[in-house]
Amino acid sequence: MGEAPLSWPDGNDRVPYWIYTDQGNYERELEKIFYGPVWNYVGLECEIPNPGDFKRTQIGDQSIIVVRDAEGGVNALVNRCAHRGVKICEQDKGSFSEIMCPYHQWTYDLKGNLQGVPFHRGVKGNGGMPADFSMADNGLDVLKVHVRNGGIFATMSDKTPPFETYMGNRILGYYDRELDGRSLSLLGHSRQRIGANWKLMLENIKDTHHASLLHVFFVTFGLFRVDNDSRVEMDDTGLHTALSSIRGKQELNDGTAQMRSFDSNLALNDPSLLDVVREFDGDQTVVMQTLWPNVILQQQSNTLATRQIVPKGPNSFELHWTFFGYEDDDEEMTARRLRQANLMGPAGLVSMDDGQILERTQEGILAHPNEQGVVELGGRGTDDADHMVTEVALRAFYKGYRNVMGL
Amino acid sequence: MTITPELRSEIADLANAYALAIDDGELDRWPRFFASDCLYKIIAKENFDSGLPLGLLMCDSQGMLQDRMEAFSKLNVFGPRSWRHMLGAVYTTGSEKEISARTNFVIFETLAGKDTHILCAGEYRDIIIREHGALKFRERLCVYDTTMIPNSIVRPI
Ligand code: FES
Ligand SMILES: [Fe+2]
């Protein structure tokens, strides 16, 4: 017999499996995390460049409209009519001048204010709304929005700290490195559903050493390898992580000797895939950020992307990829980004492995809620590391998670 | 030069042979369906319709097709499965020199021990030319409607 369910083992070096499978825990996560004092990533400004442009997205289980208003501001509105609850917007993206619910044609402006109610004053003296019906009190639910250098974040709580405090200086430094204030240009989206708990996706990025073992492609071409110069850095909560690394010389050493999948004889027929151009200050060739609770901001060589994690119950999540470049990219750079995008996404030379392995993780643990995983690589502490032979970011993450969840 | 019935059936053969090579797992044959100067791209309908260039998978040379084929066959990690391409009738326009073709597809995927599901549905938008006597894809866009890919696409489609 295992221990009683829903308890956490001592220390940060074990993770109980019920946190990935328990429905009650999932519902508490929605309340305490996604609907709580966090900044949820909801998109990029380049997805909605003009007044009236909108995209539909999700925070937790809730459908959200992100829309640019006439003054150029960005608003995040709950996609639920204030009258009888109809999901107003069905399109994934588009443009509108006002928001109208088709059922009884209540109309809202792009900030979510109720503008019109048909038969408000009645018809031929009959009916209509009561004289004290308040238009002001019956708008769409509006979320607080923060935009930083093209990234859009929204929160449902008034207790959420200011964005800068929430991210912390160190993570902000990495954030600003990629989203540096230049206008972004949208390259496109990829979307996939993975039958695994949403936290496993964040873990996958925080788990720095798997890339040298699972991803033969990475290992072989040195893009990301355990023997590369690397850093794993956390914010004070442990929930955000920035992993940075420098592409190595692909030498043979005691690291490669332990990678069973390593084959030094592989070569590309068309090396243009790895025609990487240095475009940021500093030596790092990879910076992967996991920003709590729902986005990965990535720079792998010249592929820039966000991966938004949308939880779908404890056993499934969607991953919405948005690939982008900068408006000042020349044609060659755009072509390069598009070619390197082959590494990522649902058919990515690298990412394909992750989607597969996360589902296998979920399948492995599903029947064993009282068992636990081992995260002891690199010790049992939660301090930053200057290498990637470590699971420190997972330990720090679960320290933070336990705080948030009161576990 | 119009497209004769003989040519039309040769085009249909190409479309079918392509799908069978993949369903039969003979990926090493895959690059040979393409012209020496080629573009293969799997692209989401949402990107295609908005004029966004991102492909889910994109190869713009024979070398890249070869590299992809080798990655699918040897480097990537995924469980055993079968695929069935269901093709609609090929609709052709253009001339014998440069044939445009559109063909609907649905791919059923069956993972070991699990139910058969639809991996994706969409259409091929092809440009076909004759090279060294045989019809080849100079361009094959696989425009898929599927909003959420069930996990991953682990072979060319
Ligand atoms: S439910 Fe939207 S107007 Fe009635
Ligand atoms: Fe990975």
pLDDT in tens, A99-139: 999 999 999 999 999 999 999 999 999 999 999 999 999 99
pLDDT at residue A1 in the model: 41
Find out if CATH 3.10.450.50 is the number for domain B5-144.
yes
CATH assignment of A168-405, among 3.90.380.10, 3.40.50.300, 3.40.1280.10, 3.30.70.2190: 3.90.380.10
Contact residues for A400 (Cβ-Cβ < 8 A; gap 6+) = A237, A238, A239, A292
User: Domain map of chain A by residue range?
Assistant: 40-147, 168-405
| Cβ(B103)–Cβ(B144) below 8 Å | no
Q: Which residues pair with A140 in a beta bridge?
A: none
Q: Is the pLDDT of residue A67 over 60?
A: yes
Q: Does A216 sit within 8 Å of B56, measured CB to CB? A: no
Q: Does B112 touch chain A (CB under 8 A)?
A: no
Residue among B60, B67, B75 minimizing CB distance to A216: B75
Which residues in A lie closer than 8 A to residue B52 (C-beta atoms)?
Answer: 186-189
pLDDT of residue A27: 97
**pLDDT score recorded for residue B1:** 60
| A192 contacts in chain B (CB < 8 Å) | 148-152
For domain A40-147, the CATH superfamily is Rieske [2Fe-2S] iron-sulphur domain (2.102.10.10)
Query: What is the Cα gyration radius of chain B?
Result: 15
What is d(CA A71, CA A133) in angstroms, rounded to the nearest whole number?
28
Residue contact A188–B53, C-beta within 8 A: yes
Count of other CB atoms within 10 angstroms of residue A177: 18
Residue from the list A191, A272, A352 with its beta carbon closest to the beta carbon of B76: A352
Residue A323, phi then psi, degrees to nearest 5: -95, 140
Q: pLDDT at position A2, please?
A: 45
State residue A148 phi and psi, 5-degree precision. Answer: -130, 115
Q: What does DSSP say about strands B134-144 and B99-111: parallel, antiparallel, or unpaired?
A: unpaired
Q: What is the pLDDT of residue A220?
A: 77
Predicted TM-score (pTM) of this structure: 0.95
Quick one: DSSP state of residue A211?
G
**Beta-carbon count within 10 A of A395 CB:** 27
Name the nearest CA neighbour of A279 among A333, A223, A243. Answer: A333
Question: Can the peptide bond before residue A5 be classed as cis, meaning omega within 30 degrees of 0?
Answer: no
Q: How far is the CA of A205 from the centre of ligand 2 (A)?
A: 6
Selected residue with higher pLDDT from B157 and A247? B157
Residue A4 pLDDT more than 80? no
C-alpha distance from B67 to closest chain A C-alpha (Å)? 6
- Show the tokens assigned to A276: 């990487």
> What sign has the CA pseudo-torsion B117, B119, B121, B125?
negative
**Chain B: nearest CA to A242, how far in angstroms?**
26
Q: What pLDDT digit, counting tens, does each position of B31-71 carry?
A: 999 999 999 999 999 999 999 999 999 999 999 999 999 99
| Neighbour-count burial for A194-215, b at 16+ CB within 10 Å, e otherwise | bbbbbbbbbbbbbbbbbbbebb
Which of B56, B75, B78 shows the shortest C-beta gap to A356?
B78
Ligand 1, atom 3: nearest CA belongs to which residue?
A: A104
Q: Which tokens hold the place of A234?
A: 């956390």
Which chain B residue has the Cα nearest residue A358? B151
The number of beta carbons lying within 10 Å of the beta carbon of residue A84 is 10
CB contact under 8 A, B71 and A217: yes
Best interface-test mutation with A: which of B48, B151, B154, B155 has the largest number of A CBs within 10 A?
B151
Q: What is the pLDDT of residue A158?
A: 97
Band (A3; pLDDT cuts 50, 70, 90): very low
Q: CB distance A342–B57 less than 8 Å? A: yes
Query: What gap in Å lies between CA A363 and CA A366, rounded to an integer?
Result: 5
Partners of residue A184 on adjacent β-strands? A326
Residue percentage of chain A with pLDDT more than 70: 95
Six-digit token string for A73: 């501001």
What is the per-residue pLDDT across A37-53, written as a single tens digit (0 to 9) for each? Answer: 999 999 999 999 999 99
For residue B15, the model assigns a pLDDT of 97
Q: Is the CB of A119 under 6 A from ligand 1?
A: no
How far is residue A223 from each of residues A206, A217, A219, A235, B118, measured CA to CA in Å?
17, 8, 7, 25, 34
Q: Is A100 in the pocket of ligand 1 (CB under 6 A)?
A: no
Question: In whole angstroms, what is the distance from residue B147 CA to residue A67 CA?
Answer: 21
Q: Is the pLDDT of residue A246 over 90?
A: no
Strand locations in chain B (E): 34-44, 57-59, 81-87, 91-94, 99-111, 116-131, 134-144, 149-150
Q: Residue A219: what pLDDT?
A: 78
CA B111 to chain A, closest CA, distance in angstroms equals 12
Distances (CA, A) of B91 to A24, A27, B3, B16, B48: 52, 50, 11, 13, 20
Nearest CA in chain A to B72: A349
- pLDDT at position A282, please? 85
Protein residue with least CA distance to atom 1, ligand 1: A84
Q: How far lies A45's CA from each of A68, A185, A333, B60, in Å?
A: 9, 9, 21, 30
The two three-digit tokens of residue B9, written as one number: 């059936």
Rounded to whole angstroms, how far apart are CA atoms A274 and B125? 28
Q: Which of A251, A305, A299, A249 is nearest to A278 (CA)?
A: A299
Write out the two tokens for A336.
């390069």
Please check whether residue A245 is in contact with residue A228, taking contact to mean a CB–CB distance below 8 angstroms: yes
Q: Where are the domains of chain B?
A: 5-144
Minimal Cβ distance to B54: which of A195, A214, A341: A341
| CB-based contact, A343 to chain B, within 8 Å | no
pLDDT value at position A261?
A: 62
Q: Is the pLDDT of residue A262 over 90?
A: no
Looking at residue A64, its amino acid is I
| Beta strand spans in A327-388 (E) | 372-374
Nearest-CA residue for ligand 1 atom 4 is A104
Residues in chain B, total: 157
Nearest to B140 by CA among B46, B5, B69, B37: B37
What mean pLDDT value characterizes chain B? 96
CB A405 within 8 Å of CB A28: yes
Query: What does the pLDDT read at residue B8?
Result: 94
What residues have CB less than 8 Å from B89, skipping those under 6 apart?
Answer: B12, B103
Indicate yes or no: CB of A269 within 8 angstroms of CB of B47: no
Q: Mean pLDDT across chain A, nearest whole number? A: 93
| Residue recorded with tokens 């690939």 | A323
> What pLDDT was estimated at residue A314?
98
Cross-chain residue pair A339–B61, CB shorter than 8 Å: no
